[in-house]
């Protein structure tokens, strides 16, 4: 019993002050993938390799729209791996809670 | 491979062999269907080779038949003997080996549901994976079953085993449980507090993983393998990749092999820590649970720093690994040494706490003969005196180059399983240290565009035990992928482990077996 009390006192408080103090993910973390609109060539490589199929391209009224839904994304980073233009990258962002599925959608557009 | 033994086996099987082929360390014998019981019996009992998997393939398009494969492991020679029988699609039945070899039980029932192949003489021919509302004559793994099919629901009934007697009561538990765990039904028959019978029923959330493998491209299948069993991700994906690499005849760069070993051992450490924490929780020893969980969290955070994923995902690929971890060597060594120091102290606390020891000693015994008969694998088997470890018996990754012991206990109770896990954590830390010091320079991945046609076994020792993949590829896609998770073997052992124990000890016994629902029910 004495040992347990000693160990408990020595360990102290282990919880961190998140979310009051932001907890930043380490370098190389597999977080929310983000597009860089200016670099994207709309080649479609990321669409082909995405295992859960959450990246897609729409063409409408002379406009191309590339969308990605974090709802279903497994953060494998295959899109980043195959993108020769460096237009999609996994970020350190992990706070991905949303009330609506649409809020998990990110898109970029370009005139074709 | 020892050719003398193979020749001896061939002599024993003599005129029953119709065809023989070899690839890598796998020897396939196509044998006469009628002789399968005799041959399996001979290999299993006389040659003392454990039966590690049974699976079927639908080859009706090629020769109008199904094939059933019986995989035996030659632990001492790092080889596998695979007996293959042909089952004509018109007959769709074959002699059951379960009356002779108990560990064949679930495999044969699985094939009955998934392929419609009837094991004649099976002592318990009830359905296993297809529930009573699933129509007869619809078998999901047959090639003519389209993955998008939604069969109609039909009426049916599942009959449980029943124990009768004065003062015998049934306690049904689940499939929905109080904690956030997966579904499974447990039906206890008790006389007073002691359990006199337990029947488990699973497969409530069948995901059709094996069918899915056949319907996706190989590069995507890697990520599916990684998600078959959440906390055994690395073991599954490495087994998958190794099978593919065997088929493609590629040599994975040494550096990648060492990195894989490090990841596999990190996975073992956090799983075993979680199990020890769970046992402390289930005996209401909050202090032990808190500290074990704290250590587990430290390993998960270390995982995140190394790989970007707490569960070590996204690291493995066919041909190597996707990220290098060599630059983090000092950080890993430092953290692991702290974790090990704290863990050793924690184990001293745990084993010197009478309220904990009293609950786990002699609880949930799995006797050696039961463990062997049911083919119990992993730390649970090793705690019952089964000296088997895929890392040593069929060395893969860098295990051949590294030194480690395989901890064995004999008592087969919750305490033995806890000690085996604790010892394994220390061995794993030592393995990671060795691998980091010996980490060779060089490439981490070879790229390949196409997987040739072929078939191979891939295997790893997951934290829960031996994990086996058998893959056949045709035309750069997966024709069949059989996944054998350790929990598929170990679940039945719980029916024996709880006998004569009291109901309140069930959670501890369950935790000490560390069974996966998801890996079992693919």
Q: What is the pLDDT of residues B365-387, one digit of tens each?
A: 999 999 999 999 999 999 999 99
Nearest-angstrom CA–CA distance, B381 and B389:
10
**Count of structural domains, chain B:** 2
CATH of the domain at B398: 1.10.645.10
A19 in contact with B at a CB cutoff of 8 Å? Answer: no
Position A86 pLDDT exceeds 90:
yes
Last residue of a domain, one of B120, B138, B165: B120
Q: What is the pLDDT of residues B299-316, one digit of tens each?
A: 999 999 999 999 999 999
User: Which ipTM did the prediction report?
Assistant: 0.94
Q: Is residue A98 part of a domain?
A: yes
Over chain B, what is the mean pLDDT?
A: 94
CATH of the domain at B60: 3.30.460.80
Task: Report DSSP letters for B299-363, one per residue.
Answer: HHHHHHHHHSSTT-TT-EETTEESS--GGGHHHHHHHHHHHHHHHHHHHHHHHT-HHHHHHHTT-
Which residues does chain A have within 8 Å of residue B289's beta carbon, measured at their own beta carbons?
A: none
Name residues whose C-beta falls within 8 Å of residue B484's C-beta, 6 or more positions apart in sequence.
B52, B53, B55, B466, B467, B468, B469, B470
> Tokens at residue B454, please?
């072929």
Q: Is residue A84 part of a domain?
A: yes
A82 in contact with B at a CB cutoff of 8 Å? Answer: no
The alpha-carbon gap from B315 to the nearest alpha carbon of chain A, in Å, equals 9
Which residues does chain A have within 8 Å of residue B216's beta carbon, measured at their own beta carbons?
A: 51
The alpha-carbon gap from A112 to the nearest alpha carbon of chain B, in Å, equals 30
Q: Is residue B176 part of a domain?
A: no
B75 close to B466: Cβ distance less than 8 angstroms: no
Instruction: For residue B442, give its domain range.
Output: 209-520
Last residue of a domain, one of B120, B150, B173: B120
Based on the fold, state whether residues B463 and B343 are members of the same structural domain: yes
Q: What is the DSSP letter of B64?
A: S
Position B194 pLDDT exceeds 70:
yes
Among candidates B287, B309, B323 on the partner chain, residue whose Cβ is nearest the Cβ of A4 = B287
CATH of the domain at A41: 3.30.70.3270
Confidence of residue B9 (pLDDT cuts 50, 70, 90): confident
Q: Is residue A80 part of a domain?
A: yes
Element (H, E) at B176: none
CA angle in degrees (0–180, nearest 5) for B382-B384-B390: 25
Q: Is residue B25 part of a domain?
A: yes
Among candidates A11, A49, A74 on the partner chain, residue whose Cβ is nearest the Cβ of B219 = A49
Which residues does chain B have within 8 Å of residue A28's beta carbon, measured at their own beta carbons?
A: 305, 307-308, 323
Residue B287 and residue A49: Cβ atoms within 8 Å?
Answer: no
Q: Is residue A13 part of a domain?
A: no
Q: What is the DSSP letter of A21?
A: S
Q: What are phi and psi of B384, to 5 degrees?
A: -105, 20
Q: Is residue B137 part of a domain?
A: no
pLDDT over 90 for what percent of chain B?
91
Position B454 pLDDT exceeds 80:
yes
Confidence of residue A36 (pLDDT cuts 50, 70, 90): very high
**Can you give the pLDDT at residue B2?**
64
Residue A81 and residue B322: Cβ atoms within 8 Å?
Answer: yes
Residue B304 and residue A26: Cβ atoms within 8 Å?
Answer: yes
Q: What is the pLDDT of residues B126-162, one digit of tens each?
A: 999 999 999 999 999 999 999 999 999 999 999 998 8
Q: What is the pLDDT of residues A68-85, one digit of tens each?
A: 999 999 999 999 999 999
Instruction: Tell me the residue length of chain A.
Output: 112
Based on the fold, state whether residues B305 and B447 are members of the same structural domain: yes
**Can you give the pLDDT at residue B11?**
83
Per-residue H/E/C for B65-118 = EEEEEEEEEECCCCEEEEEEEEEECCCCEEECCCCCCHHHHHHHHHHHHHHCCE
Residue A14 and residue B294: Cβ atoms within 8 Å?
Answer: yes
Picking from B308, B335, B347 by the largest number of A CB atoms within 10 A of its own CB, the best residue to mutate is: B308
| SS3 (DSSP) at A42 | coil
Which stretches does DSSP call E strand in A1-112?
33-35, 55-60, 63-69, 88-90, 105-111
The alpha-carbon gap from A62 to the nearest alpha carbon of chain B, in Å, equals 32
Element (H, E) at A10: helix A2-11
Which residues does chain B have within 8 Å of residue A7's beta carbon, measured at their own beta carbons?
A: 287, 291, 345, 349
Q: What is the DSSP letter of A20?
A: T
Partnered with residue B261 across adjacent β-strands are: none
Cβ-based burial of B297 (10 A; exposed 0-12, middle 13-18, buried ≥19): middle
The alpha-carbon gap from B292 to the nearest alpha carbon of chain A, in Å, equals 13
Q: What is the DSSP letter of B42?
A: I
Nearest-angstrom CA–CA distance, B130 and A40:
47
Among candidates A3, A4, A29 on the partner chain, residue whose Cβ is nearest the Cβ of B304 = A29
Instruction: Tell me the residue length of chain B.
Output: 522
B271 close to B422: Cβ distance less than 8 angstroms: no
Over chain A, what is the mean pLDDT?
A: 92
Residue B349 and residue A28: Cβ atoms within 8 Å?
Answer: no
């Amino acid at each position: 019993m004495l040992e347990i009390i000693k160990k408990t006192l020595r360990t102290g408080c282990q919880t961190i002050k998140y979310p009051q103090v932001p907890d930043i993910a380490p370098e190389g973390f597999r977080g929310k993938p983000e597009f860089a609109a200016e670099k994207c060539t709309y080649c479609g490589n990321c669409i082909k390799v995405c295992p859960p199929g959450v990246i897609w391209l729409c063409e409408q009224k002379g406009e191309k729209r590339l969308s990605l839904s974090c709802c279903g994304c497994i953060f494998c980073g295959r899109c980043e791996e195959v993108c020769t233009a460096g237009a999609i990258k996994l970020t350190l962002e992990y706070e991905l809670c949303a009330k609506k599925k649409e809020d998990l959608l990110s898109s970029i557009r370009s005139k074709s | 491979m020892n050719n003398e033994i193979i020749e001896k086996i061939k002599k024993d099987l003599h005129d029953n062999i119709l065809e023989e082929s070899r690839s890598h360390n796998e020897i396939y014998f196509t044998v006469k269907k009628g002789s399968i019981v005799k041959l399996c019996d001979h290999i299993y009992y006389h040659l003392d080779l454990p039966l590690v998997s049974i699976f079927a393939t639908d080859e009706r398009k090629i020769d109008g038949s199904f094939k059933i494969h019986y995989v035996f492991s030659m632990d001492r020679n790092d080889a596998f003997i695979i007996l293959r029988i042909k089952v004509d699609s018109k007959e769709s039945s074959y002699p059951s080996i379960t009356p002779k070899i108990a560990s064949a039980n679930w495999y044969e029932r699985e094939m009955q549901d998934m392929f419609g192949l009837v094991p004649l003489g099976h002592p318990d021919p009830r359905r296993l994976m297809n529930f009573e509302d699933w129509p007869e004559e619809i078998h999901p793994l047959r090639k003519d079953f389209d993955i998008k099919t939604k069969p109609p629901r039909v009426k049916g009934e599942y009959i449980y085993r029943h124990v009768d007697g004065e003062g015998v009561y049934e306690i049904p538990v689940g499939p929905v449980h109080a904690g956030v765990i997966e579904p499974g039904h447990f039906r206890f028959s008790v006389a007073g507090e002691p359990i006199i019978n337990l029947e488990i029923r699973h497969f409530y959330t069948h995901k059709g993983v094996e069918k899915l493998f056949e319907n996706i491209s190989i590069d995507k299948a890697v990520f599916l393998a990684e998600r078959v069993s959440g906390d055994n991700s690395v073991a599954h994906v490495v087994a998958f990749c190794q099978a593919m690499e065997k088929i493609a005849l590629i040599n994975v760069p040494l550096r990648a092999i060492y990195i894989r070993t490090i990841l596999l051992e990190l996975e073992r450490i956090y799983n075993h820590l979680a199990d020890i924490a769970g046992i402390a929780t289930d005996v209401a020893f909050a202090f032990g649970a808190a500290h074990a969980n704290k250590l587990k969290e430290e390993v998960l955070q270390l995982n995140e720093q190394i790989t970007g994923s707490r569960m070590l995902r996204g690291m493995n690929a066919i041909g190597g690994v996707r990220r290098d971890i060599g630059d983090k060597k000092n950080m890993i060594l430092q953290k692991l040494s702290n974790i090990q120091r704290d863990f050793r102290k924690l184990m001293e606390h745990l084993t010197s706490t009478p309220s904990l020891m009293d609950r786990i000693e002699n609880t949930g015994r799995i006797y050696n003969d039961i463990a062997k008969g049911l083919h119990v694998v992993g730390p649970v088997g090793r705690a019952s005196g089964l000296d088997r470890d895929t890392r040593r018996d069929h060395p893969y990754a860098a295990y051949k180059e590294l030194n480690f012991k395989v901890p064995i206990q004999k008592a087969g109770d919750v305490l033995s399983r806890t000690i085996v896990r604790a010892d394994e954590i220390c061995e794993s830390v030592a393995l990671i240290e060795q691998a980091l010091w010996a980490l060779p320079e060089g490439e981490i991945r070879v790229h390949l565009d196409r997987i040739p046609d072929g078939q191979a076994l891939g295997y790893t020792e997951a934290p829960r035990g031996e994990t086996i993949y058998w893959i056949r590829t045709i035309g750069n896609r997966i024709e069949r992928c059989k996944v054998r998770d350790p929990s598929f073997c170990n679940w039945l052992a719980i029916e024996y482990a709880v006998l004569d124990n009291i109901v309140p000890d069930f959670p501890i016994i369950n935790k000490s077996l560390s069974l996966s629902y998801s890996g079992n029910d693919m």
